[in-house]
Amino acid sequence: MSSTDNVVGTKPNNTAASNQALMARRQQAVARGVANMHPLFAERALNAEVWDVEGKRYIDFAGGIGVLNSGHCHPKVMAAVQEQMTRFTHTCFQVMPYEPYVALAERLNAMAPGDAAKKTLFLTTGSEAVENAVKIARAYTGRPAVIAFNGGYHGRTSMTLALTGKVAPYKIGFGPFPAEIYHAPFPVEVHGVTIEDALAGLNNLFKCDVEAKRVAAIIVEPIQGEGGFYVAPFEFLRKLREICDEHGILLIADEIQAGAARTGKMFAIEHSGVVPDLITLAKSIAGGFPISAVVGRADVMDSVGPGGLGGTYAGSPLGCAAGLATLDVFEQEGLFERSLALGERLTQRFDAMAKSYPCIGDVRGLGAMMAIELFKDQAGKRVPDPDLTRQLVGLAAERGLILLSCGMYGNAIRVLVPITAPQEQVDEGLDIIESCLASLTGNA
d(CA 287, CA 268): 18
CA angle, 113 as apex, 111 and 118 as ends, to 5°? 70
Of the chain, the end-to-end C-alpha distance in Å amounts to 34
Q: What's the CA gap between 432 and 397, in Å, rounded? A: 9
User: What's the CA gap between 284 and 263, in Å, rounded?
Assistant: 12
| Inter-residue contact 402 to 65 (CB < 8 Å) | no
Supply the DSSP string of 295-338, one letter for each residue. Answer: EEEHHHHTTSPTTSS--TTTT-HHHHHHHHHHHHHHHHTTHHHH
78-332 shares the fold of 19-66+334-441: no
Q: How far is CA 320 from the centre of its chain?
A: 19
* Sheet hosting strand 42-46, strand order edge to edge: 42-46, 49-52, 57-60, 401-402
Helix, strand, or coil (residue 279) = strand
Distance CA 286, CA 141 (A): 31
pLDDT digits (tens, 9 = 90+) for 363-406: 999 999 999 999 999 988 899 999 999 999 999 999 999 999 99
Global pTM? Answer: 0.95
pLDDT in tens, 176-211: 999 999 999 999 999 999 999 999 999 999 999 999
Q: How deeply is 27 buried, as exposed, middle or buried, from its count of CB atoms within 10 A (0-12, 13-18, 19+)?
A: exposed
User: Given this model, what pLDDT does residue 444 score?
Assistant: 60
| Percent above pLDDT 90 for the chain | 94
Helix (H) or strand (E) holding 108: helix 99-111
Per-residue 3-state assignment (H helix, E strand, C coil) for 337-390: HHHHHHHHHHHHHHHHHHHHCCCEEEEEEECCEEEEEEEEEECCEEEECHHHHH
Average pLDDT, the chain: 95
Radius of gyration for the alpha carbons in the chain, expressed in angstroms and rounded: 22
CB atoms within 10 A of CB 163: 27
DSSP state of 223: B
Lowest mean pLDDT among 73-77, 323-327, 378-382: 378-382
Cβ contact 436:396 at 8 Å: yes
- Judge whether 303 and 297 are in contact, CB under 8 Å: no
- Strand arrangement, sheet containing 250-254: 118-123, 292-297, 278-281, 250-254, 215-220, 145-149, 181-184
List Cα–Cα distances, 18 to 38, 53, 233, in angstroms: 14, 6, 46
Looking at 3.40.50.150, 3.50.50.60, 3.40.720.10, 3.90.1150.10, the CATH number of the domain 19-66+334-441 comes to 3.90.1150.10
3-class SS at 30? coil
What is the mean pLDDT of the segment spanning 251-256? Answer: 98
Q: What is the mean pLDDT of residues 265-277?
A: 98
DSSP string across 199-212: HHHHHHHHHHT--G
Q: pLDDT tens digit string along 125-170? A: 999 999 999 999 999 999 999 999 999 999 999 999 999 999 989 9
Q: How far apart are CA 306 and CA 320, in angstroms?
A: 21
Mean pLDDT, residues 20-24: 96
Instruction: Give the span between the Cα atoms of 4 and 90, in whole angstroms.
Output: 32
The pLDDT of residue 8 is above 90 = no
Give me the amino acid identity at 191: H
Q: What is the model's pLDDT at position 367?
A: 97
In 3-state terms, the chain is what percent helix, strand and coil (to 5)? 40, 20, 40
Q: What is the dihedral of CA 61, 64, 67, 69, to 10 degrees?
A: -20
Q: What is the pLDDT of residue 443?
A: 74
Does the pLDDT value for residue 299 go beyond 60?
Answer: yes
- Provide the CATH number for the domain formed by 78-332 in this structure: 3.40.640.10
Binned at pLDDT 50, 70 and 90, residue 315 comes out as: very high
**Domain residue ranges in the chain:** 19-66+334-441, 78-332
Q: How far apart are CA 239 and CA 196, in angstroms?
A: 10
